[in-house]
Amino acid sequence: MKAMLKSELAAAAGVSRDTLRRWLHSDADYLRSQGLNPKAKMLPPQVVRYLCEKYDIENT
C-alpha cells in the first residue's frame, strides 16, 4: 500500500471528494490516532489501507 492524495483515493473509490470527506469525518477518531491532520491532502499508507478495507476500495 502506498500513500495517496485524498483526490486519488476518491477517484479509486468512484466517489466525489465531498463524499470521501464525509467518510473521513466519520473516521475522525481513527485519523487522529494516526496523527493525521483533517486538512492533510496526503493520506499515509496505513490510513489508505484502513479506508480501502473499510469501504471495499480496490487500490490501484
What integer pLDDT is reported at residue 38 of this predicted model? 80
Q: Summarize pLDDT for 2-33 with one digit per residue, the tens.
A: 999 999 999 999 999 999 999 999 999 999 99
Residue 43, strand partner residues: 4
Closest CA to 2 of 53, 33, 55, 42: 42
Which pLDDT belongs to residue 1?
81
Residue range 41-50, pLDDT digits in tens: 999 999 999 9
Strand partners, 4: 43
The pTM for the full model equals 0.87
Residue 8, pLDDT score: 96
Cell numbers for 18: 465531498
Q: For 57, which DSSP code?
A: -
